[in-house]
Amino acid sequence: MLRRPRRNRKSQVIRQMVEETRLSVKDFIFPMFLIDGINQKVEVSSMPGIFRYSLDLMLKEIEECMNLGIMAFDIFPAYPESKKDKYASESYNPDTFYLKAIHKIKTSFPEAVVMTDVAMDPYSSDGHDGLVQDGKILNDETLEILGKMSLAQAQAGADILGPSDMMDGRVGCIRKILDDNGFTDVSIMSYTAKYASAFYGPFRDALDSAPKLGDKKTYQMDPANYYEALIEAGLDTEEGADFLMVKPALAYLDVIRLLKDNSNLPIAAYNVSGEYAMIKASAQRGWLDGERAMMESLLSIKRAGANIILSYFAKEFAHLMRK
């Protein structure tokens, strides 16, 4: 035999020399959950090792992550029911704890990248990403609310806005509002192909943001659809998105590759809460090697074409790289 591929696998050094996909802490955005209060650190029961933090402790956690090389953070707020209403009006209240926290994080760590979430569900009494009327999600009326929310987050100091709502036209609406108000440098990472997935369950536990009635299938994408992602990607690109995101990641590696092959924009992938939780739960029961499963999963996302990975494993990965 003239060709023996195993020769390039015969030692760790040679395997590392020829490996085609390499992960770095620079690839990651670390999603974090914020709650109001002081000295609060509450573990998310369905996400072992992940916590909801009050701002004072989140600042310490961010500093620790930055010392490990993680420089980008996606902050999600958890609001009590008492602060929620039909119109998500708390989302653009200048005195709300989320906007104050964004400002504090950014002024405390100006070199960090702060990403925010643009959607109604954390603030909505209906638990949906859009305005609900007679059981329907209103698209165009939602855009006005998302515009107010986006402007408030930009004013607070956000570097990247992440519209996760899946309303038609929201990227163009947000881009225009930002530009009209002088925030031309604020980026948009659009949740381009966000699927109506079963893998979001633990996230909704973390934010207490599950829909009160119905589901999100009229605005999030059908898991059966592949080429539809190109329609969404084309629209988001035309409307001014700076990054395109696929969510979830592991069940949609083919969609990550599709967007990578058909777009010149950076591709992000969200390694979502359910994907994190299933590895953690299996590892806790001794069913698999959690560290190896984490690495294999993250490598698959990068190999599929993701330039950026949003993952709850980010800090654990960064610790592993320091060993």
Residues classed as catalytic = 194, 247
* Residue 189 β-bridge partners: 243
Token pair belonging to 4: 């023996």
Q: Say if residue 77 is preceded by a cis peptide, omega within 30 of 0.
A: no
Among 164, 145, 62, 77, residue whose Cα is nearest residue 111: 62
The span from the CA of 176 to the CA of 114, in Å, is: 21
Provide, for the chain, the percentages of residues in helix, strand and coil under a 3-state DSSP scheme, each rounded to the nearest 5: 45, 20, 35
Angle between helices 253-262 and 290-304 (to 10 degrees): 30
What angle, 0 to 180 degrees and rounded to 10, lies between the N-to-C axes of helices 290-304 and 273-284? 150
CA 165/CA 305 separation, integer angstroms: 24
**Which value, in Å, is the radius of gyration of the alpha carbons in the chain?**
20
Cα 205 from Cα 145, distance rounded (Å): 24
Please name the helix (run of DSSP H) or strand (run of DSSP E) that holds residue 298, with its range, or none.
Answer: helix 290-304
Q: ω into residue 211 within 30 of 0, thus cis? A: no
